[in-house]
Amino acid sequence: MKDYAPERFAEIVLGDGRYAVRYPFPKWNIRPTVLQEPRLFPRVFPELSSTDHAQLSETFESKARRISEKHHQLLERGRRLYGTEGSLISGGFREHWPEKIKNEVRQLAHASTLLADASRAHAKAAKLRSLHSSGRDRSRKSARRDPGGPGKYIVKISSSRYAGEYSGGATLAEAVVEARRFKPRVGAGATIRVGYFTFGKSDPEDGRFHVSRTIQRGS
């Protein structure tokens, strides 16, 4: 397994490196991340409403279950192929197993834990009192901008050297996460917007893009 920095691993698994950044917070003797202290969310992820947090909690919980199942399947395969003799190592594998399968087990175990932690943190953030008023305001605005009906969430990127439209997922929250993945690639000069694309009546691709969030505004 490649030894990723925490921010990079969080970006790969959760879609955003901010999950792994540490910040000072009262009554902590360490600098916690948002996964350890969900009350940091309004400061670190100010663009997310309580509804967004609830949706992301469900999304990460679903992904955690899938990764956990892959982890258990890989362990079962290792036991079948290489036996259960020898020392049991954290993650569930045996010391004498090949390095390749041990690395895969470690990576899946780490990803599963990270996804489960993110799901719990977002679930707690969705209940934060400080988010409810501003979250309701943002949700109302998003509801006005996202008309629903036949369509899809997309990420739209505009710049002199990088432009296009990309699938954003099933919900606005998933589209926001997907949009952030593009930030390191497109540079500061690109504009990244997230919204709902309503299909045209005669031609699905001849529709209208309703902007919900501007993730990055280029120069």
Task: Please tell me the predicted confidence (pLDDT) of residue 203.
Answer: 67
Count CB neighbours of 57 within 10 A.
20
Measured CA to CA, the distance from residue 212 to residue 219 in angstroms comes to: 20
CB 154 within 8 A of CB 164: no
Among the ranges given (89-93, 97-101, 179-183, 192-196), the one the predictor scored with the smallest mean pLDDT: 89-93
Measured CA to CA, the distance from residue 177 to residue 19 in angstroms comes to: 12
pTM of the model: 0.62
Task: Please tell me the predicted confidence (pLDDT) of residue 149.
Answer: 64
Task: Please tell me the predicted confidence (pLDDT) of residue 143.
Answer: 43
Instruction: Please give the structure tokens belonging to residue 200.
Output: 């045209």
Tell me whether strands 164-167 and 191-198 are parallel, antiparallel or unpaired. unpaired
2-23 mean pLDDT: 87
Task: Please tell me the predicted confidence (pLDDT) of residue 115.
Answer: 95
Task: Please tell me the predicted confidence (pLDDT) of residue 2.
Answer: 60
Task: Please tell me the predicted confidence (pLDDT) of residue 117.
Answer: 96
Among the ranges given (47-56, 127-136, 161-170, 199-208), the one the predictor scored with the smallest mean pLDDT: 127-136
Task: Please tell me the predicted confidence (pLDDT) of residue 91.
Answer: 64
Tell me whether strands 191-198 and 208-216 are parallel, antiparallel or unpaired. antiparallel
CB 41 within 8 A of CB 34: yes
- Picking from 117, 120, 172, the residue whose alpha carbon sits closest to that of residue 143 is 172
Task: Please tell me the predicted confidence (pLDDT) of residue 6.
Answer: 87
Instruction: Please give the structure tokens belonging to residue 71.
Output: 């982890």
Task: Please tell me the predicted confidence (pLDDT) of residue 144.
Answer: 42
What are the pLDDT digits (tens) for 107-118?
A: 888 999 999 999
Q: How many helices (H) and strands (E) does the chain have?
A: 6, 4
- Picking from 101, 116, 113, 108, the residue whose alpha carbon sits closest to that of residue 70 is 108
Task: Please tell me the predicted confidence (pLDDT) of residue 139.
Answer: 47
Task: Please tell me the predicted confidence (pLDDT) of residue 132.
Answer: 52
pLDDT > 90 in the chain, percent: 26
What are the pLDDT digits (tens) for 117-159?
A: 999 999 999 988 766 544 444 444 444 444 556 788 888 888 8
What are the pLDDT digits (tens) for 33-43?
A: 999 999 999 88
